[in-house]
């Protein structure tokens, strides 16, 4: 199995495996952009559905003609004139113009009086929420609070990542705040896949993860495991480094965070 993205989609859309990242270690500023206004319209009538289907077909042909092997799974109009939000199978969502000639990624911000709204954040959060809801809990490594659970987060992690180690050291404090943590496997490169597979194939995954982050080898028989499924899921969401923390409603909370920072971002 090769752990390399070789399609034109990977080149054009800028997807790549990333090292352990701490780019989002600081707390969100008080004036951080949030999405508070719906970016898509109400339920579609038959005319709108037909228009969306025609656009989906047009864009699919444009992608194929450009040598991009990416299946269009869903399209939605946005509040931006002649602009769609496009879901792609196995890849992060993109914006596309109504003529199907241009696609792009990144934040789109609406400027309101005395405020700004990140439209992209809302759209991506909706997609991410649905994808995380599809994850079977038995396929995660879960750390539960001893008392009441006040919030649940998903964390894409790699046992070789130093910032994942730092986050793991916070686990007792995180759980003490009533936060349940569900680890998803996200090996950052091909050489880290065997270790993550061994962890997920261990009888006691949590103990195996503890062993791995200490730099000790984990031995386990091969088994059917969700490691590559988790990695593909992360790619589709847009994960590009570990740790990557998400709330159950699909909001990206950050990379490494202390227990206090995480609780604050969850509004606890």
Q: How many CB atoms lie within 10 A of CB 245?
A: 23
Residue tagged active-site, from 20, 77, 127, 161: 161
Whether 158 sits among the annotated catalytic residues: the reply is yes
Cβ-contact 147, 178 below 8 angstroms: yes
Distance CA 192, CA 68 (A): 28
| Tokens linked to 100 | 């199907």
Distance CA 155, CA 170 (A): 13
Q: How many CB atoms lie within 10 A of CB 134?
A: 8
Nearest alpha-carbon partner for 86 in 104, 68, 62, 65: 104
Whether 188 sits among the annotated catalytic residues: the reply is yes
Whether 54 sits among the annotated catalytic residues: the reply is no
Residue tagged active-site, from 158, 201, 205, 265: 158
User: If phi over 0 gives left and psi between -120 and 50 gives alpha, with beta otherwise, what is residue 14?
Assistant: left
Residue 219: alpha-carbon gap to chain centroid: 29
Return the ∠ at Cα 181 (arms to 234 and 210), rounded to 5°. 90
Residue 212: alpha-carbon gap to chain centroid: 23
Residue tagged active-site, from 188, 201, 205, 265: 188
Give the three-class secondary structure for 194: helix
Query: First CA to last CA across the chain, in angstroms?
Result: 42
Phi and psi dihedrals of 122, rounded to 5? -65, -45
Angle (deg, nearest 10), helices 205-213 and 193-200: 150
Instruction: Name the pairing type of β-strands 151-157 and 179-185.
Output: parallel
Q: Which sequence positions are flagged as catalytic?
A: 158, 161, 164, 188
């Amino acid at each position: 199995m090769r752990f390399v993205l070789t399609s034109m989609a990977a080149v054009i859309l800028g997807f790549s495996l990333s090292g352990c990242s701490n780019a989002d270690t600081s707390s969100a500023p008080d004036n951080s952009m949030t999405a508070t206004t719906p970016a898509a319209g109400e339920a579609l009538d038959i005319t709108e559905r037909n228009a969306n289907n025609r656009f989906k077909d047009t864009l699919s042909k444009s992608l194929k003609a450009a040598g991009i092997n990416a299946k269009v799974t869903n399209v939605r109009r946005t509040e931006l004139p002649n602009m769609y939000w496009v879901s792609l199978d196995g890849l992060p969502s993109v914006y596309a113009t109504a003529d199907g000639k241009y696609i792009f990624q990144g934040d789109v911000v609406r400027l309101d009086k005395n405020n700004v709204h990140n439209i992209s954040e809302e759209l991506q959060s909706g997609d991410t929420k649905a994808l995380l809801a599809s994850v079977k809990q038995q396929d995660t490594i879960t750390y539960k609070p001893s008392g009441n659970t006040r919030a649940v987060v998903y964390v894409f992690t790699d046992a070789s990542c130093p910032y994942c180690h730092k986050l793991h050291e916070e686990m007792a404090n995180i759980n003490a705040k009533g936060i349940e943590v569900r680890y998803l496997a996200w090996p950052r490169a091909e050489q880290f896949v065997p270790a993550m597979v061994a962890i997920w194939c261990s009888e006691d995954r949590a103990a195996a993860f503890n062993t791995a982050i200490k730099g000790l080898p984990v031995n386990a028989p091969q088994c059917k495991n969700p490691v590559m499924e988790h990695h593909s899921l992360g790619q589709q969401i847009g994960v590009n480094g570990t740790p990557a923390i998400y709330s159950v409603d699909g909001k990206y909370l950050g990379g490494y965070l202390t227990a206090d920072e995480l609780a604050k971002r969850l509004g606890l």
